[in-house]
Amino acid sequence: MSNIIEPHGSASLNPLFVADADERARLVEEAASLPSIVVSSASAANAVMLAGGYFNPLTGYMNKADALSVADNMHTTSGLFWPTPVLNLVENAGEIKAGDRIALKDPNVEGNPVLAIMDVEAVEEFTDDEMATITEKVYATTDPEHPGVAAFNSQGKVALSGPIQVLNYSYFETDFGDTFRTAVEIRNEIGERGWSKVVAFQTRNPMHRAHEELCHMAMDRLEADGLVIHMLLGKLKPGDIPADVRDDAIRTMVKLYFPENSAMVTGYGFDMLYAGPREAVLHAVFRQNMGCTHLIVGRDHAGVGDYYGDFDAQTIFHDIPEGSLKIKIFEADHTAYSKKLNQVVMMREAPDHKKEDFVLLSGTRVREMLGNGEAPPKEFSRPEVAKILMDYYQSLNG
């Protein structure tokens, strides 16, 4: 067994999925007779992350005091370092009260099957001011146009807190069987491969040449044993490329351009928060839980629009208390192909370059080219990857 980094906040991983099949069947039966609510997509995603061990050592949804404390200073009331509130918010709790045992139903699967059973410890309402404070602290804005802010504030203000037992992985396991992995599974596979120094790369898009080279760069400089490409499989914003297309593009790139046994392609079930710096820290927490020692954090990591400075998601790691996390950050600048050097470089490491010395294309321009059946230049995108994306965009125009 290789020497794998410890999870966050405990000596071993405590996933909340009920692994014992008999016990699970018993709970599914019990759930049928319990009062139930259909939760929000964000609450369901939190349950899936808790189930897989990604949110270790949390045992369920936070109460009001913990959520406010985490928003304010990135620690729960008991002192656990944690960057974003993990809540189950509803518009109206109805008859549900503290002490009840309830079934949480999945909003994202037809027929709303039971996702988890919850022991309700508290039913508490946030004031408008408290919701605004959490929003401002976590997202660094209260602009309702921000997709994360909009999603957070659309769920309701009543928090149901308490421990949960999770009965399935929602649609992630069925729709993304080849890619969806729990933190437990990734940690086990890292062990089987004998890796101990492991780099994680977060993505919600297909990977272009610059991303690929950034992963190689990080692995070389850190002398890492392996790379885990970890893609978001949850709810994205309109216009994002569907997971199956991204998956195909990334797997093709790994097969052709990475040495054997050097990279794992995996995915996780979560709804993007677009919370920039705070979400970057959350990414680090669950990458540590899945056994990675380093996380690549690039320009505007987990950001959206112009809400965050280019490197805010890196500098937040300089500001958190020493020892909060065991995982380390690999700070990346924007990477691009240098026509002068005939290779991909980090822009800050090429101070003698002007803008025109790089092959730079906007996302909009790339989508336009792909839609017209034009391959972006090979310095920008591997031809085999471009082909997959062209086929997808042309199917939209078909």
CA distance 312 to 202: 17
204 catalytic? Reply is: yes
By CB atoms closer than 10 A (0-12, 13-18, 19+), residue 20 is: exposed
Mean pLDDT taken over the chain: 94
pLDDT above 90: percentage of residues in the chain:
85
Over residues 5-27, the pLDDT tens digits come to: 999 999 999 999 999 999 999 99
Number of helices and strands in the chain (H, E): 13, 15
Per-residue pLDDT, averaged over 24-44, amounts to 97
CA distance 80 to 96: 28
CA distance 106 to 43: 9
| pLDDT over threshold 50, residue 381 | yes
What is the distance of C-alpha 169 from the center of its chain? 15
| pLDDT over threshold 80, residue 235 | no
CA distance 196 to 210: 25
Residue 208's nearest CA partner among 379, 395, 392 is 379
| pLDDT over threshold 60, residue 124 | yes
| pLDDT over threshold 80, residue 398 | no
What is the distance of C-alpha 75 from the center of its chain? 20
Taking the model in full, what pTM does it have? 0.95
State the DSSP code for 14: -
Backbone φ/ψ region at 206: left (φ over 0), alpha (ψ -120 to 50), beta: beta
CA distance 122 to 241: 39
| pLDDT over threshold 80, residue 239 | no
For 190, phi then psi, to 5°, come to -60, -40
| pLDDT over threshold 80, residue 227 | yes
- The catalytic position among 205, 246, 365, 367 is 205
Over residues 128-149, the pLDDT tens digits come to: 999 999 999 999 999 999 999 9
- Work out the pLDDT band at 234, boundaries 50, 70, 90: confident
Over residues 299-356, the pLDDT tens digits come to: 889 999 999 999 999 999 999 999 999 999 999 998 989 999 999 999 999 999 999 9
User: For position 2, what pLDDT does the model report?
Assistant: 57
Torsion over CA: 100, 103, 108, 110 (sign): negative
User: For position 254, what pLDDT does the model report?
Assistant: 97
Per-residue pLDDT, averaged over 277-293, amounts to 98
- The catalytic position among 24, 112, 193, 204 is 204
User: For position 209, what pLDDT does the model report?
Assistant: 93
**In sequence order, what DSSP letters do the residues of 88-128 get, joined into one string?**
-EES--TT--TT-EEEEEPTTSTT--EEEEEE--EEEE--H
The residues near 46 (Cβ < 8 Å, ≥ 6 apart) are: 55, 61, 86, 87, 88
Torsion over CA: 62, 66, 68, 72 (sign): negative
- Work out the pLDDT band at 240, boundaries 50, 70, 90: confident
205 catalytic? Reply is: yes
Write down all domains in the chain, each with its CATH number in brackets. 21-173 (3.10.400.10), 178-397 (3.40.50.620)
375 CB neighbour count, 10 Å cutoff: 16
Least confident range of 104-113, 119-128, 153-162, 206-215: 206-215
Per-residue pLDDT, averaged over 51-57, amounts to 98
User: For position 236, what pLDDT does the model report?
Assistant: 64
- Work out the pLDDT band at 104, boundaries 50, 70, 90: very high
User: For position 241, what pLDDT does the model report?
Assistant: 83
Over residues 166-212, the pLDDT tens digits come to: 999 999 999 888 899 999 999 999 999 999 999 999 998 889 899 99
Q: Greater confidence, 184 or 365?
A: 184
